[in-house]
Structure 1
Amino acid sequence: MELRDIEIFLALAEELHFGRTAERLHVTPSRISHTIKRQERRIGAPLFERTSRVVRLTPLGRQLRDELLPAHQQIQAAVERATARAHGTTGTLRVGYTTPWCADLVLRAGERFGHLHPGWTVQIREVQFDDPYGPLQRGELDLQLVEFPAFGSIVAGPVLFREPRALMVPAGHPLASRESVTLEDLADIPIVSLRFELPRSAEDLHLPRYTPMGRPVRRGPSYTYWPEVPALVAAGLGGSIVAARAAQFHARPGIAFVPFQDGPTIDYTVLWHTDVQGPPVPPFVDLLRELAGADGGGADGPGDGDGAGGGGAA
């Protein structure tokens, strides 16, 4: 089997769609179909089950994919290393994040990116809520994983994953004993807010001023850095709208996390500045999307990952 035939097989095994595979490899769908049929004749058994509605791997196809993929990745990495040495193609991709689960995703993507693009290293840093876009705008970062909407000269990539929201409340508050809350319940507890202003689109999404029925949402004490929020909530001074996943990372005595029945999800996207045109950006974004999807949190549409809805948090 020639290298190009292996690439076609592995691409179809990932996409499970002849049209998308052809578009990805810049060939015609008939070329993909012809190549797969030739491989199946040579092997002597079908590699894919194909109907008018679905394409899926046969057990033999899955076995072949699992055995070919590591070898193919090694070949790609070897070529990348040789190319990097020949052309001196090296550099650092600087990526920011705002929550620990975004950090986990970036670290996994960075490790894999280093294998696929040996000349490049990935540096990550946490971005604080008091300056959510500053590092990106000042050119200190190339990419950023964030829950805030993009604006101005910042470009939004794909939505990587969507998180349901929860209300973090003092453990002794009446809402803490509920199985779930609604947006109307926001009128019953002060909401911890930021000491600085967010863009209006982000504030409307994360720190609503009114419930759907028009009841005012009171502002509680303000904060600059996320670690202040659980302390304020535990002290009984207010609640905070957070990603539901925050309960796994920030649980502590004195607070409870109650899921919302309604309201939008917190959508995590990747952002970059319009001036960033470096070649590593698109492949790194592709890796983030692939890994987020593999985690079961992939999302459709442009924008598969802290969490805070709402002025809230990681």
Structure 2
Amino acid sequence: MERHEMEIFLTLAEELHFGRTAERLRVSSAMVSQTVKKVERRIGAQLFERTSRKVVLTPLGQRLRADMRPHYDGLNEAISRATEAARGIHGVLRVGFLGVQSGLTAHRAADMFQARHPNCAVEFTEIQVSDYVTPLRTGALDMLVTLLPLDEPDISVGPLVVEGATFVAVPTSSPLAARTELCMDDLAGYAFPSLSDRVPASWADRLLPRSTPNGGVIHRTGQQCSTYQEMLALVVAGKAVVLGDAQVTRYYQRPEVTHVPIHDAPTLNHALMWSSASENARMRAYADAVRELKATCASEL
């Protein structure tokens, strides 16, 4: 079956209307009808039942649609990749980052990327925890570097960008600040900041758990926070403690805040991610640059 025949069949299988199919594909209704009849003659059976009121797939048509769809999608993807390769990588890649260290690594990777693809610019935007992955879904950003874990079926997670130990920010006046190391159970009875309603609760609770390993309760503040700076303000006020990765000890120091390592907390890692449906050659090339940067300069990042 030729590609245009596959396209007409699959579109009609979705629309179940000859006129809408023709309008969507910008061809005549007669062409849609003739193509379907041609395919049916070749197969030797009807793929659609037509009446004056409706069009429905026959059982054979349903099976053909299920078998054909992945092959058609794969063919289109292969053609798209070949077209991109022929044209070269160009245009603008919009990258978001959460945290200073993530931004520095993203910029260094962009230098490598642009040395190889000078016709493609990279634009950067700082994001906040409250943004979650929404900029990818709205198309505001092509890629972003944000915190793991992330379990969203429509989002592809690429290479790690920042890896490191977990620290807790506490008021310098707190007894916890005098310790050289803490465990999660030491946080029982304290409060983590509440995150913005825009952040899914499942993700927020994994980043800032509500209980310790031995069942101690970690409370939530009444005030919601959208940024790490807002969280640190609550810490300074003595109303909360907050977890952070290793970069907080370097880029988010305040005289009123002490960062203490937590030996039994999972590492807080940042990874590059993008919308699976929007993946293109620019994104793949940039992800390759991040991987290479991490492999060659891991000790500096």
TM category (shorter chain) comes to 0.5 to 0.7
Q: How many angstroms apart in 1 are the aligned matches of 2:198 and 2:187?
A: 20
Q: Which runs of 5+ in 1 are unaligned?
A: 1-83, 299-304, 306-314
Distance 1:105 1:113, change over 3 A: same
Task: Determine if contact 1:155/1:274 at 8 Å carries over to the other structure.
Answer: yes
Distance 1:88 1:203, change over 3 A: closer
Q: How many angstroms apart in 2 are the aligned matches of 1:106 and 1:130?
A: 20
Task: Determine if contact 2:172/2:258 at 8 Å carries over to the other structure.
Answer: yes
Deviation of 1:215 after TM superposition, in Å, equals 1.2
Q: CA offsets, 1:49-70, max 9 Å, x none?
A: xxxxxxxxxxxxxxxxxxxxxx
SS of match in other structure, 2:269: strand
Distance 1:250 1:123, change over 3 A: same
Distance 1:193 1:200, change over 3 A: closer
Task: Determine if contact 2:89/2:117 at 8 Å carries over to the other structure.
Answer: no
Q: How many angstroms apart in 2 are the aligned matches of 1:264 and 1:211?
A: 12
Q: Does 1:134 align with 2:134?
A: yes
Matched with 1:270 is: 272
Q: How many angstroms apart in 2 are the aligned matches of 1:154 and 1:197?
A: 17
Instruction: Say how many residue pairs are matched.
Output: 215
Q: CA offsets, 1:172-228, max 9 Å, x none?
A: 000000001101012142112213253344233211111111111111243122221
Q: How do 1:209-228 and structure 2 match up within 5 A? A: 209-220=210-221, 221-228=223-230
SS of match in other structure, 2:281: coil
Q: How many angstroms apart in 2 are the aligned matches of 1:117 and 1:269?
A: 22
Deviation of 1:295 after TM superposition, in Å, equals 3.5
Distance 1:111 1:231, change over 3 A: same
Matched with 1:289 is: 291
The code of the aligned residue for 1:100 comes to V
Matched with 1:26 is: none
Q: How many angstroms apart in 1 are the aligned matches of 2:165 and 2:141?
A: 28
The code of the aligned residue for 1:262 comes to D
Matched with 1:170 is: 171
Structure with greater Cα Rg: 2
Q: How do 1:1-314 and structure 2 match up within 5 A? A: 87=87, 90-148=90-148, 149-196=150-197, 198-220=199-221, 221-296=223-298
Task: Determine if contact 2:156/2:276 at 8 Å carries over to the other structure.
Answer: yes
Q: How many angstroms apart in 2 are the aligned matches of 1:217 and 1:244?
A: 22
Task: Determine if contact 2:160/2:271 at 8 Å carries over to the other structure.
Answer: yes
Q: CA RMSD in A?
A: 2.2
SS of match in other structure, 1:136: helix
Deviation of 1:134 after TM superposition, in Å, equals 1.2
Q: CA offsets, 1:248-281, max 9 Å, x none?
A: 1010111100001112111211111022232111
Distance 1:89 1:143, change over 3 A: closer
Distance 1:114 1:185, change over 3 A: same
Task: Determine if contact 1:179/1:258 at 8 Å carries over to the other structure.
Answer: yes
SS of match in other structure, 2:194: strand
The code of the aligned residue for 1:96 comes to G
Task: Determine if contact 2:90/2:282 at 8 Å carries over to the other structure.
Answer: no
Deviation of 1:132 after TM superposition, in Å, equals 1.5
Distance 1:156 1:257, change over 3 A: same
Q: How many angstroms apart in 2 are the aligned matches of 1:201 and 1:294?
A: 35
The code of the aligned residue for 1:204 comes to D
Deviation of 1:233 after TM superposition, in Å, equals 0.9
Task: Determine if contact 2:131/2:198 at 8 Å carries over to the other structure.
Answer: no
Q: Which runs of 5+ in 2 are unaligned?
A: 1-83
Task: Determine if contact 1:157/1:269 at 8 Å carries over to the other structure.
Answer: yes
Task: Determine if contact 1:183/1:212 at 8 Å carries over to the other structure.
Answer: yes
Distance 1:175 1:286, change over 3 A: same
Task: Determine if contact 1:243/1:266 at 8 Å carries over to the other structure.
Answer: yes
Q: CA offsets, 1:87-145, max 9 Å, x none?
A: 58520011111111111011111122111101101011011222211111111111111
Deviates more, 1:270-279 or 1:93-102: 270-279
Q: Which has the higher helix share?
A: 2
Distance 1:278 1:175, change over 3 A: same
Deviation of 1:147 after TM superposition, in Å, equals 0.8
Task: Determine if contact 2:195/2:204 at 8 Å carries over to the other structure.
Answer: no
Task: Determine if contact 1:247/1:257 at 8 Å carries over to the other structure.
Answer: yes
Q: How many angstroms apart in 1 are the aligned matches of 2:164 and 2:241?
A: 18
Task: Determine if contact 2:184/2:264 at 8 Å carries over to the other structure.
Answer: yes
Question: Quick one: percent identity of the two aligned structures?
Answer: 30
Task: Determine if contact 1:190/1:218 at 8 Å carries over to the other structure.
Answer: yes
